[in-house]
Amino acid sequence: MEQVKIPFFTRMKRAIFNPEEYSTFMLEKSGESIKYLLKFLIIFAIIVSIAYTYNFYQKGIGETELNLLRDYGFEESYIEQFQKTYEEINDTYLIIIMFIVNIISLYVAYTISNLLSTCIFGVFGLIIARICGMKIKFSQSFNLAVYAITLPSILLAIYMIANLLFGITVKYFAVAYDAITYIYIITSILMLRTDLIKQKIELAKIMKEQEKVREEMKEHDQEQKEKEEEKEEDNSKEEGEPEGNKA
């Protein structure tokens, strides 16, 4: 049976607002989940890169950046030349370069980071599933983890932008990120377990009804058989009476 293709933004919406839909995602091939993650991270990298580029454009090259070059061992002549080149270069050209560099660096870094973290969350999903008495494959748990990090990643992008532009910091944001992911995983597994229990109950009812129908059919067949036997006895009696009269 061919699987129905689910649009990217529909997947994102369901990942955030419909944990009960995770059972559908779990049955897909892991390639579909990875495609979703890569597309999601492209959007993530673009949005955060805009904030990074704007922040760089606003600040420019200051003493902090120049001191960083000195710490890395660059000679003073090179630093002066770098500062001079920066002041002479076209702003639009510089912005484009910085934007592209930010996108590439963020995309690569967060792709590696998220693939590793989803593997860890996938192992957590396996453990929770076993505790709940369910046997699922790691690929299914991995799919579950990919969609579970959707909302935390969106919150991370918002936090990074707020931190860059306004200096807002949240002390335990990393803990909150993990906690939200764990909640999504646990919730979706419990929902799946509830659905399986309901299916078992419905199946038991159907089997009970089928057994009842079989019993009724058996009784009906037995009644038909008894009627046929009675009819045969009556026919045999009717055939025997004329012979008795003749005698």
The pLDDT value recorded for residue 238 is 63
User: pLDDT digits over 200-227, tens only?
Assistant: 788 777 887 887 778 778 777 777 777 7
Most confident of 35-39, 100-104, 237-241: 35-39
Percent with pLDDT over 70 in the chain: 85
Task: Fill in the DSSP letter of residue 21.
Answer: G
What's the whole-model pTM score? 0.75
User: pLDDT digits over 141-155, tens only?
Assistant: 999 999 999 999 999
For 239-245, what is the mean pLDDT?
A: 54
Residue 95's CB is within 10 A of a number of other CB atoms, namely: 14
C-alpha to C-alpha distance for 162 and 168, rounded to whole angstroms: 6
The pLDDT value recorded for residue 160 is 94
The pLDDT value recorded for residue 70 is 77
User: pLDDT digits over 71-125, tens only?
Assistant: 767 788 877 777 777 666 656 777 888 889 889 999 999 999 999 999 999 999 9
User: pLDDT digits over 161-211, tens only?
Assistant: 999 889 899 999 999 999 999 999 999 999 999 887 887 788 777 887 887
The pLDDT value recorded for residue 247 is 46
C-alpha to C-alpha distance for 174 and 58, rounded to whole angstroms: 28
The pLDDT value recorded for residue 60 is 66
User: pLDDT digits over 47-70, tens only?
Assistant: 999 998 888 777 766 666 677 667
SS3 144: helix
The pLDDT value recorded for residue 208 is 79
Tokens of 85: 């080149």
Using CA of residue 132, residue 136, residue 142, residue 148, what is the dihedral sign? negative
In order, the DSSP letters of 185-218 are: HHHHHHHHHHHHHHHHHHHHHHHHHHHHHHHHHH
The pLDDT value recorded for residue 246 is 47
The pLDDT value recorded for residue 1 is 45
